[in-house]
Structure 1
Amino acid sequence: MPGRLPPAMRPQHQSTAVDVYASNSDLYADPRLVERVDYRRRFKRHRPRTRSVVLAPHGGGIEVGTSELCLAIAGYSPSTRVPIGQTHDYWMFEGLRTASNDELHVTSSHCDDRVARAMVSGAAHALGLHGCTAAAAGLEDHDRAVLVGGRDALLRLELLTRLRRAGFHTVDAADHPVLGGGDRANIANRTKTRQGGQLELTTPLRNAMFAENSRSDRRHTTTEVFWDFVHACRAALAAREAPTN
């Protein structure tokens, strides 16, 4: 298929498996895929734009729980999408299949969705939300942990501080070779300042955020763990937006 990278050159993602698609454009061009059946794109762009944008490049069934987190951290109820406080722009790509959503994974450094790039390039700050296995993070299988990365050192520090205060097992992933979010091409780092934040949540942590972890029920059954995480992230973004930063 045109635009596809040869196997040896395709990007690697968290599980070290090879992505099927070289970019979002490559995926969108596949005639075998149907938007709103296999995948969908959701976003909210304010006028005027907000200073921060929240991203879930692998939402829906790809990295489970990141869609709901994206909405809530952006200031919207995951169940009703009604504002719950200060709101931010957001963008997400979601896998809608009942199985094999991992085939729709496009590594963040190859995200070329026009809307996503336009939103991030106009923002001062960005926060990308991802899911990973505990093993990929170098942790025990049961670890409820979050790896905090990205090129924005100030945002990373705010996230580390506030998530730790909220009782979460946090890991500074600045130097992690795969999950650190340091690639300049990473969609979260395509802001006005060419830096952003990235969170990689382990599967056990994401599982703890929903009483019923299914596509239809997640948005209605968010737990205290979910909201503690959301409030910490929102506080970190607010601190990063403060004039002193």
Structure 2
Amino acid sequence: MTSLARRLLAEFSGTALLVSVVVGSGIMAQRLSTDIGLQLLANSTATVFGLAVLIAVLGPVSGAHFNPVVSLADWWIGRKSGAGLTAGDLGGYVLAQILGAVAGSMLANAMFAEPVVAWSTTDRSSAHLWLGEVVATAGLLMVIFSLARSGRTALAPAAVAAYIGAAYWFTSSTSFANPAVTIGRAFSDTFAGIAPSSVPGFLVAQAIGGIVGLLLVLGLFGRPEAGLEEQPVMSDSSSGR
């Protein structure tokens, strides 16, 4: 089992790099094109490739959650079977992910000579966007935990990245699907930003989506039996956690 300190470092650095990819590619896209469709295409393509690489590299260390909803679901599903995160691990993961997301947004701002901290003014407070976040988050949970429960976590880098890439385009919210990333993106007043006043609505929608996704996984696969060994979430190695 990898030490908690190493796992927290992986979650911090992985989430930071993920947000840097999302925000940085959004800034670059906005500078290179005035076409909103092309901007979204560039942003989503960079995110797909970046996320796939980060999962492949850091999955064996921490499970590559990079997402408080994923970590919470991992703890909830495995709390009785002995698999998954402990309650103490969960708190550390969530803190590392949020701090990493904020650091990643600040890093992207700095790389493009933007103010290191600039609160976003992009309002995303609408019911249809919240519904998009429910759908995006529920689908993400279903993809991740279906792979874990069926013993196919080696497919996680490609499958999870592909889902997020698709969800950029088929959800109204462009699929944040991640509370830490949502908080981090509030620190950048750029293409990928979200106004701080819009963050609470997205967090509630993501929590609801997490519950829906968790219920779908339990309905499809049932609850893990005590004593059964499960593959770590989003890891391509059985020694990931």
Structure 2 length-normalised TM: 0.29
Instruction: Specify which structure has the higher proportion of strand.
Output: 1
Instruction: Specify which structure has the higher proportion of helix.
Output: 2
Higher relative contact order (CA 8 A, sep 6+): 2
Structure 1 length-normalised TM: 0.29
